[in-house]
């Protein structure tokens, strides 16, 4: 299963990347529809291998899952993922400079089932794909608005 999103954010690339990699904020506030990120090991972000547990509501029930920081290339790439017996998920966030105060943001999620249980989970998600995409787009649009407001407030 693959989900993707792309937009323009009217802030410099470095500013967008710094805001998107504010791991301390995620640990207290969460991100979009995700609950706060609860650290799960002694490795702390921005070090690779940092892990968190978080949750999101899906079909009326909270679903808990783990995330790991797999890749971090300042100022452009952030990759979070989860490799388990059930599924292999990778979420890639790219921030590319499109101008002095303009950043192209793209998100790509790839999920592969590693078990029968994983296949059932991904099939359930696939059935709700339109709703998930709509929610994802709203979360990313809000992220862009918050970045632009923060950038304007500091100027």
List, in sequence order, every beta strand (DSSP E) within 41-114: 51-58, 61-73, 77-83, 87-99, 102-113
CATH of the domain at 54: 3.30.530.20
111 bridge partner residues: 89
How far apart (Å, rounded) are the C-alpha atoms in residues 121 and 4? 19
What's the total number of domains in the chain? 1
Quick check: 17 and 40 in contact, CB under 8 A? no
Query: Measuring CA to CA, which residue among 27, 32, 41 is closest to residue 93?
Result: 32
| Alpha helices in 40-115, H assignment, sequence order | none
Question: Distance between alpha carbon 72 and the CA centroid of its chain, in Å?
Answer: 13
Two tokens at 123?
A: 């099939």
pTM > 0.85: yes
In terms of residue numbers, what domain contains 60? 2-154
Confidence of residue 56 (pLDDT cuts 50, 70, 90): confident
Cα-based distances in Å from 112 to 1, 31, 104:
6, 23, 27
| pLDDT surpassing 90 at residue 94 | yes
Average pLDDT, the chain: 90
Instruction: Provide DSSP, 112-147.
Output: EE-SHHHHHHHHHHHHTHHHHHHHHHHHHHHHHHHH
Query: Which is it for the CA torsion 19, 72, 2, 86, positive or negative?
Result: negative
What confidence tens digit (pLDDT) does each residue in 23-36 have? Answer: 998 888 887 778 88
pLDDT for position 9: 97
């Amino acid at each position: 299963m693959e989900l993707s999103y792309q937009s323009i954010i009217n802030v410099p690339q470095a500013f967008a990347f710094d805001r998107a990699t504010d791991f301390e904020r995620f640990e207290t506030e969460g991100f979009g529809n995700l609950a706060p990120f609860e650290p799960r090991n002694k490795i702390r972000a921005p070090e690779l291998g940092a892990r968190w547990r978080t949750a999101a509501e899906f079909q009326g029930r909270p679903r808990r899952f783990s995330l790991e920081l797999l890749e971090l290339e300042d100022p452009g790439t952030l990759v979070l993922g989860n490799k388990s017996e059930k599924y292999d998920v990778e979420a890639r966030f790219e921030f590319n400079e499109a101008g002095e105060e303009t950043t192209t943001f793209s998100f790509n999620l790839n999920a592969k089932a590693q078990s029968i249980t994983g296949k059932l989970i991904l099939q359930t998600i696939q059935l709700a794909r339109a709703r998930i995409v709509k929610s994802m787009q709203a979360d990313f649009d809000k992220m862009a608005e918050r970045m632009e407001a923060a950038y304007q407030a500091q100027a």
